[in-house]
A and B are shown apart, each in its own frame.
Chain A
Amino acid sequence: MATANEPDRASTHPCAHCGLPTRTDDPAAFLDNSARVFCCHGCMGAYALIHECGLQDFYALRDQSHSEISPVKSYRKQHVLDDLEAAGVPVETFADGLCRVQLSVDGLHCAACSWLIEKMQGTVPGLKSARVRMSDATLDMVYDPQVTSPRKVAERLGTLGYILSPIDSRDEGESADRWLQRDHWIGMATSFFLAANAMWIGISLYAGEASGMDHSHATFLRWMGASLGLLSAIGPGRIFFSSAWTSLRAGVPHVDIPVALGLAVGTAGSLVGAALGEGNIYFDSLASLVFLLRVGRYIQFRAQYRAGLSLTRLLRSHHEMAVRLESDGSIVTIPAHRLQVDDVVEVLPGQSLPVDGIVIKGSSLLQTAWITGESRPFPVSAGMEWVGGAQNLQSPLLIRVTAAGDQSRIGRLREMVRQATAQRTPMTQLADRVGGIFVIVVLVLAIGTFAAWSWIASPAVAAGHTIALLTIACPCALALAAPLVITVALGRAAREQIWIRDGNALERLAKPGILWIDKTGTLTLGDLSVLNWDGTADDLKRAAALESRSEHPVARAIVAFASQQDPTWHPTHYRVDNVLQSYGEGIRGTVDGLYYELRGSDHQEQMPKQDTDSYMPICQAIDVFCNGVRHGTLRMGDRERPGAVDALKSLSQRGWNIGLLSGDRANIVEALSDRLKGAGLTLVATKSEQSPEQKMETIMKSRRMYPTTVMVGDGINDAAALSTADIGIAIRGPGEVSLRNAPIFIPGNQIDSIVRLVDSSKSAVRGIHACFAASLLYNTITISLAISGWIHPLIAALFMPLSGITVLTMALLVRTFPSTNSQSYPDGKSNAGLGTSRQVEI
């Protein structure tokens, strides 16, 4: 079945389940007896199960919707689903004994996935119904607790690559967003209703004026229209007034002040017009302006909401569960955020907990890179402190919680971050600013035109010209262009695996300023790896065979290094006996009869000077002793992220100042800084041993000095800095706080994406400016024609959509995030409007 030793048949096939191109000589690949290729064991299992259940249509459906299925990862047991009560998941019990629960589903891609899950229901005994809601990735299921349990269902779906997890009750933000979305819809529907009716009344008035309408009828129509306009302003337009009012009271300039002013002037104008019974009609423009402004707001909200949803889903899969030991010796699995002071918790290797505590049993290694940026793990044992957010690397620990929630170090950091986010003044968006001014200018011009023509000719002529002016002037395109360009860009960015939560961030990146970059996990990979070995290959192989018995990160790095040096190396080729491992003192044992001992080197500070073309800050050295004689030293360190230097160079060429901001020790950061300088990069500053608070301080300072301050970092330790910066860019996964607080998130280690981001930001802003210019040009020409009386109101009404269409087309043509792999969306502009929602989900 496995084809590891058939190099002659090596070729690439798509995986039969997920479609991932798979080389048949890949050791992880599998072939089944009908020569189907699978990229991994998980996919083969899923394929078999789907066929077993007779659900092969899934693949046809998948191909139809052009969706990609991700490879099935090995399924992790979800013990937390055993006790939903303890996990804080509400379970509804019906009178007939059936239970209903909502769980989050990870791994949904398209309708085919929801089809598969819903069909699977028929094959799980006791599962009465399963409904998938694609929009927020939840599964609503009704089951018979006598026959099945959520955990059994989860295991079944886990085989297919869908991970069920409890929906966190903390995720109130999501349902609040859903309500907000409904409010937007209601606002748009109402304002459209009012605008459409106001426009018809407006048309009747124009027509009536042309054909000589009875005065009392005209007055009636005016009052009807004016009340519709008023309703529009105080109904759907209310949000602009209320946010303008809030910002006025807070003394902070806000985007909605000019908009509200424009709306107020329009409302007053239409009421005065109705009261006087003659002159201008403002109400239809007012009502349609409210409608278009609401559409613009919705487009913006939508983009943010979508990105937010994707992030929420991502975060859900990172929810940590804690194993709590009860006083009676039983074990309960609960979400980590529900832990309380004095709980006793078992922390398994690889786990990280958001509480502070004291180790009461066990000894292990802790990795605190996420908190402090310190790249080197350190040993802990009973009686020592456990800092929230640290990761346990080696063996199980029992800890007693001393601070949980907001009291723990992570909690305090979160609080700090929350404050930093709340204190930020919202950026005035160009579109809203220009749009507001535009409205005022048009109204002033209209009043001027009416006065002037009343003086020159008659009020009737003046009314005609003013109506033409108001009709043909189109602030809507102005208001829509920027949100549209940004939305399209966000969708395309998501296709490139760049998630932007906040469109403002993209706009702001266009102006070069200072870019602070974190070291551990950002410029470097953040994991230990072997950088060099000065002994013989045989010693290395035997040492690695010994280390293969350990789960220690150092051991794993050595094993990985050995198989990288010699792909044929395998630990089973060696006879390893009498392995003795003690924490902090290394590992010893006999390999093929030779006694090997590997332990931390004492002389690590006297390293030979490293060559500058390969940056190697060594943070750990392991001596290898064979029968008591030192045979060599393994030097371990954090490897530089590939492409990082080139990315920084490109940014530097684009006018950005680069600064290093790290929590790691000075000598390591200096070594990296020297290496960057050696590569021809100018650094404006290099700061090491920075606490999160100090990082925040540095960012604050540079915000006063530079037009744009960007922070690139990862993990919890950068969250404060990320949210303090004008634009925070989070790189790589698990730092939950970073994801929530950085407006831009680039998973998948693609540091060069920052360069693409900056370029696209530039072209987006250029595009917005071009739209503005076109719209202003159009408006200047048409308005001057209208003022001078060249345009008839009806012709103006025909021309009105033209400016809108022109600007919208231009907005769609702006080239942001030029596709590098455009096989699925060769034509960016045609799907740009429709495609964004789908793309963000991928």
Chain B
Amino acid sequence: MSVLYIALPLAILLGGIGLVACWYCIRSGQYDDLESPSVRMLIDESPERNANDEDTNRCDHVQP
């Protein structure tokens, strides 16, 4: 049972890493708009839209 001394802190550490990742996601604004992306992915891209994909991506990356 002395494995407990290693396993428990390790488990919490692993969970902690997940938590830090979650902080990062929240801080970077990924959860700020939960409405538009969920619908946007359901809409078929039109051809002229694909031509502009580069610019669209630029918008995604630059965070205010």
| Chain A contact residues, CB within 8 Å of chain B | 61, 65, 92, 94, 98, 100, 102, 111, 114-115, 118-119, 121-122, 128-129, 131-136, 140, 142, 175, 178, 181-182, 185-186, 189-190, 193, 197, 201, 214, 217, 220-221, 224, 228
Interface of B, secondary structure class, is helix
- A142, B58: Cβ atoms under 8 Å? yes
Contact B55 A115 (CB under 8 A): no
Contacts of B19 in A (CB 8 A): 189-190, 193
Q: How far is the CA of A128 from the CA of B35 in the complex (A)?
A: 23
How far does the Cβ of A689 sit from chain B's closest Cβ, in whole Å? 49
A residues in contact with B1, CB < 8 Å:
214, 217
Q: Is the CB of B33 within 8 A of A134?
A: yes
CB <8 Å contact, A178 and B4? no
Lowest 10 CB-CB distances: which A-B pairs, in order?
Answer: A111-B39, A122-B48, A128-B55, A129-B55, A135-B33, A134-B35, A134-B36, A129-B56, A185-B26, A193-B19
Residue of A nearest to B50 (CB): A122
Residues of chain B lying within 8 A (CB to CB) of residue A136: 32-33
Q: Which residue of A lies closest to B33 (CB)?
A: A135
Check B31–A185 contact: CB distance below 8 A.
yes
Partner of B23, one of A65, A98, A189: A189
Q: Which residues from chain B contact A182 at a C-beta distance below 8 Å?
A: 26-27, 29, 31-32
Q: Name 11 A/B residue pairs within 8 A (Cβ), A-sorted.
A: A65-B39, A92-B62, A100-B62, A115-B39, A115-B40, A129-B56, A133-B32, A134-B33, A186-B22, A189-B26, A214-B1
A189 touches B22 (CB 8 A): yes
Which B residues touch A119, using CB under 8 A? 46, 49
* List of B residues within 8 angstroms of A185 by Cβ: 26, 31
Report the Cα distance A181→B48, complex, angstroms. Answer: 36
Would you call A129 and B12 a contact (CB within 8 A)?
Answer: no
Least CB separation from A132: chain B residue: B36
Contacting pair A135 B55 (CB below 8 A): no
* Residues of B contacting A122 in the complex (Cβ-Cβ under 8 angstroms): 46, 48-49, 52
Q: How far is the CB of B36 from chain A (nearest CB, A)?
A: 5
Q: Which residue of A lies closest to B44 (CB)?
A: A57
Do A129 and B52 form a contact, CB below 8 Å, given A115-B43, A142-B59, A224-B8? yes
Q: How far is the CB of A175 from chain B (nearest CB, A)?
A: 8
B25 to chain A, nearest CB (A): 9
Q: Is the CB of B36 within 8 A of A133?
A: yes
**Complex: A577 Cα to B18 Cα, angstroms:** 81
How far is B15's CA from A189's CA once the two chains are assembled, in angstroms? 12
- Report whether A131 and B59 are in contact in the complex, using a CB–CB cutoff of 8 Å: yes
Say which residue of B15, B40, B55, B58 sits within 8 Å of A197 (CB atoms): B15
| Contact yes or no, B15 A193, CB < 8 A | yes
Rounded to whole Å, the gap between the CB of B56 and the closest CB of chain A is: 5
Q: Distance in Å from the Cβ of A230 to the closest Cβ of chain B?
A: 14
C-alpha spacing A190/B46, complex, angstroms? 41
**Whole-angstrom CA separation of A217 from B49 in the bound complex:** 62
Compute how far the CA of A521 lies from the CA of B19 in the bound complex, rounded to whole angstroms: 53
A190→B43 CA distance, assembly (Å)? 35
A251 to B15, CA, bound (A): 41
B48 to chain A, nearest CB (A): 4
| Chain B residues, CB < 8 A from A111 | 35-36, 38-40
Q: Which residue of A lies closest to B57 (CB)?
A: A129
A interface, over-half SS: helix
Contacts of B62 in A (CB 8 A): 92, 100
7 A-B pairs besides A135-B36, A189-B19 with CB distance below 8 A are: A111-B40, A118-B40, A135-B32, A178-B29, A181-B32, A193-B18, A201-B8
A616 to B17, CA, bound (A): 72
Distance of B6 from chain A, by nearest CB (Å): 11
Report the minimal beta-carbon distance from A42 to chain B, rounded to whole angstroms.
25
Distance from B4 Cβ to chain A, minimum over Cβ atoms (Å): 6
**CB < 8 Å neighbour of A220 from B5, B38, B49:** B5
CB of A67 to closest CB in B, whole Å = 11
Residues of B within 8 A of A190 (CB): 19, 23
Name the one of B23, B27, B43, B58 contacting A129, with C-beta atoms under 8 angstroms.
Answer: B58
Residues of A within 8 A of B26 (CB): 182, 185-186, 189
Chain A residues whose C-beta falls within 8 Å of the C-beta of B15 in the assembled complex: 193, 197
Please measure, in the bound complex, the distance between the C-alpha atom of A121 and the C-alpha atom of B56, giving whole angstroms. Answer: 11
Chain B residues with CB under 8 Å of A61's CB are 43
Chain B: minimal CB distance from A146 (Å):
15
CB pair A98–B55 under 8 Å, yes or no, is yes
- State in angstroms the CA–CA spacing of A221 and B60 once bound together: 45
- Chain A residues with CB below 8 A from B16, complex form: 193
Closest to A184 in B: B26
Does A140 lie within 8 Å of B23, measured CB to CB? no
Flag if A114 contacts B58 (CB, 8 Å).
Answer: no
Residues of chain A within 8 A (CB-CB) of B64 are 102, 175
* B32 → A minimal CB distance (Å): 6
A178:B32 contact, CB within 8 angstroms? yes
Chain B residue, CB-CB nearest to A224 = B8
Q: B27 to chain A: closest CB distance in Å?
A: 6
In the assembled complex, the CB of B24 is this many whole angstroms from the nearest CB of chain A, namely 10
Which of B23, B26, B62 has its CB near the most chain A CB atoms (within 10 A)?
B26
Q: How far is the CA of A795 from the CA of B37 in the complex (A)?
A: 44
Query: Chain A contacts of B59 at CB under 8 A?
Result: 100, 129, 131, 140, 142
Beta-carbon contact of A128 and B8 below 8 Å: no
CA distance A135 to B36 in the complex (A): 8
Nearest-neighbour CB distance to chain A for B55, whole angstroms, equals 4
Bound complex: CA of A652 vs CA of B34, how far in Å? 45
A221 to B26, CA, bound (A): 31
By beta carbon, the residue of chain A nearest B18 is A193
Complex alpha-carbon distance, A119 and B4, angstroms:
57
Say how far B12's CB is from chain A's closest CB, in angstroms.
6
> Which residues of A sit under 8 angstroms from B23, Cβ to Cβ?
186, 189-190
Residue of A nearest to B9 (CB): A224
**C-alpha gap A12/B56 in the complex (Å):** 43
Q: How far is the CA of A178 from the CA of B55 in the complex (A)?
A: 26
Q: B35 near A135 (CB under 8 angstroms)?
A: yes
Expressed in whole angstroms, the minimum distance between the Cβ of B22 and any Cβ of chain A is 5
CB distance from B37 to the nearest CB of A (A): 9
Nearest-neighbour CB distance to chain A for B23, whole angstroms, equals 5
Q: How far is the CA of A140 from the CA of B16 in the complex (A)?
A: 35
**For B36, B38, B46, B48, which residue has the most chain A Cβ atoms within 10 angstroms?**
B36
Chain A's closest residue to B23 (CB) is: A186
B9, B33, B46, B62 — which one has the most chain A CB atoms within 10 A of its CB?
Answer: B33
Inter-subunit contact B52/A186 (CB<8 Å): no
A231 to chain B, nearest CB (A): 10
Residues of chain A within 8 A of B46, CB atoms compared: 119, 122
Nearest residue, chain B, Cβ from A115: B43
Q: Give chain B residues whose Cβ lies under 8 Å from the Cβ of A98.
A: 55
Inside 8 A of A217's CB, which chain B residues have their CB?
1, 4
Contacts of B52 in A (CB 8 A): 121-122, 128-129
Does the CB pair B48–A197 fall under 8 Å? no
**Shortest distance from the beta carbon of B11 to any chain A beta carbon, whole Å:** 8
Of chain B, the residue at the smallest CB distance from A111 is B39
B residues in contact with A128, CB < 8 Å:
52, 55
Q: Is the CB of B39 within 8 A of A114?
A: yes
A235 CB, min distance to chain B CBs, angstroms: 11
Cα of A102 to Cα of B43 in the assembled complex, Å: 23
Which of A94, A175, A182, A220: most chain B Cβ within 10 A? A182
Q: For residue B28, give the distance in angstroms from its CB to the closest CB of chain A.
A: 9
> Could you tell me the distance between the alpha carbons of A646 and B18 in the complex, rounded to whole angstroms?
59
